[in-house]
Structure 1
Amino acid sequence: MRRRVLLLVAAITTLLLLAFLVPLAVLVRTVAEDRAVATATAEAQSLVPLVATTDRESLRLAVEQVSGVAVFLPDGTVLGSADRTPLVELGSRGVSASAEVPGGREIVTAVRDRSGAGGAVRAFVPDAELTRGVARSWLILAALGVALLAVGLLLGDRLARAFVRGATDLAGVSERLARGELQARADPAAPGELGSVARALNGLAARISELLHEERESVADVAHRVRTPLTALRLEAESLGDPAEAARIGAAVDEVARAVTGAIAQARQRGGDTGNADAAAVVAERVAFWAVLAEDTDRPVTVDLAPGPLPVAIGRTDLAALVDALLGNVFAHTPDGTAFAVRLRATGAGAELEVADAGPGPPDAKVLGRGVSGAGSTGLGLDIARRSAERSGGGLRLESAGGLRVVVELGRG
């Protein structure tokens, strides 16, 4: 856009300069010619009275004082250095005239001597005199044109910068909003229509913030309601006769309560702060939690975790929810006794988490869609994992290799 504005300014300025400077250059040349011709004519006419009033010797001395002028007397005598030309013959007949001749301009003035016989005074103006000072004037006009073009381009560049800066700011704010920075706002003082677009974008960002706030509060309210049945379940667990069983169920209830608390806190976050977490520590913690249930359901577990710390660009709560979603799918969609493996390794871009099972695999290739499930569940597990991975700068993919293998790439923290 900036280049186009500059090209437009250059084209318009050039046309205006040509329309102004070309006639002015022609005028300068015309004025120089007229000045030289007028000077030569005045010198020639200064000799006209002398032809009829002075003697020949005085006239000769006067002619020698004037450069480029010759006097042709009626008797054929020539005073000065010049050839008799057709224009001189015309002047001898009483006709004054001027004409372009090779090398310059010839000016002939008809005269009469004392006896009334016709003669002529010839003045010759060479081309050098006709164009004296023209080249210098043209150079000055060219320099003036270049200076004016430079000033026009400078002003056009300033104008283009203002437009480009406004458009660039709008693009930057849009990208920040797309990344979840809902506090980003455009400058409404941008010139022209860009200001209108900036105000509309700011209104849209404010509305999005309001809607997200309402959604988070609704999710938080729903999560808060879960605490009541969890409290009742904890009381039921404490009333069990077997202390070990009561402790195990109580620990599971406490874990669910912590997850609910984390969901409430996460739902009330303003967004945009992904945070960092040690993937090695979080994955090890969640695998240890699910290992108890795996033992109860006779599921062999293979764990291969890279040594930490392994920082990734995702918050600890989000990463724990991601791991829980993947492992929860294994228990929900494979029969008891199905083996699974959890592997975590460092990569150049961050970390790669793999959860593979020996089950029947995904029933539908669309299981990554939100709300899509092949086993009657809510269908949110893999979608939660995918969105969390994408927020960290990574992604999620499914592979079938004698079961289901879920590979999650996490960006470096």
Structure 2
Amino acid sequence: MRRRLIQSTLAVVLVVIAVFGASLVLVEARTIEGSVEESVRSEAVRLVSVVDNRMRAGERVTTESMRNTVESDRYVRIDLPGREPILLGDAVPPDEAIVAQQTGEHGETITVRQSRDRVHEEVGRSLLIIFAVSLLAIGAAAVLAVRQAHRVAAPLTDLAEAAERLGSGDPRPRHRRYGVPELDRVADVLDASAERIARMLTAERRLAADASHQLRTPLTALSMRLEEIIATADTPDPEEQATVKEEATIALAQVERLTDVVERLLTNSRDPRTGSAVGFDLDEVVTQQMAEWKPAYRGEGRALVRSGKTGLEAVGTPGAMAQVLATLIENALMHGGGTVAIRTRVTRNQAVVEVTDEGPGVDPGLGSRVFDRSVSGRNSTGLGLAVARDLAEADGGRLELLQQYPPIFALFLSRESGTSATGD
């Protein structure tokens, strides 16, 4: 590519020099010839004046008296009335000379001839200068062509390396520009592609981390339910059998919610803007979560209670919102203390679910950073609240820390239009 750029640049320069050089030679030749003709005419006028002045003064015009007034490279013929012509300088054939003739007041005729060799010499010197300038122009063009070829080819090589690096799995953008709009446009596209690929890889890694974390909570609860089912499976008591059926039903609901969460995580990893929000009964989600987590709280000697408004309809994905609430309840179980209270209320056009406990609260040094990934005040993974926030935002809601001590986490969801709520 560099060779082609250099060759094309030099070809353009040579064509320009050939066209303008030929035109310049023609113009210069005509200019030199016109200058010599004007000089010869001026010489004839001058000699006529000299002869007239001398004849007017009564001096005799001779070869000796006129010899010093004529330049050596010119041929002059002075024709005086009734006398032999006066010849000065070397004879030049008329067909090889530039001729000028003037007639004076006393009838004398002055003829001046200038050999064309002088014109040829002047034209030759001009040609030599033009040729030297052309060589300099070609040399300068060659240097500029090499530099321009390097300027264009080097960025292309660099872009090819960037594309190869991107294809090999290194998505870091280089943010390198070259001062050439077209090449900078290619670099912009490559950097944008690198950033998209980096986001995709990050989303895939987040999906793996989120899935592993989010699956742990429902699987733990499911394991506890299944253990209770196993413990009561062999009893002949009808009431206990009913309890087994109830526990099996709850375990099945947990499995279905687990499947919904996995599908939701996969959907968010492909396009976080994709949602499946619908109107749902918020009471049903809260009741379901309380039923699932009460055995765990009883095992820890703690209580899980509910208060606030009932009959609330919210907009979201039931499975995802159940997972958000499960994360808050589990967070209170693991890091909080005392009784955990779930309170539902209404603010403006939003339904709010608050989860609070009597524990030490959120570390003052964390604050709102508690929702950041890998940020934890109790040696946990730091993913639970971050994933819960993402799930809430994907359905148009939001998850906030309203108070650090005692800790109050609030899930805000849009309400279904036209719904009413009653107080507990």
Q: TM-score range by the shorter chain?
A: 0.3 to 0.5
Normalised to the residue count of structure 1, the TM-score between the two structures is 0.42
Query: Which of structures 1 and 2 has the bigger CA Rg?
Result: 2
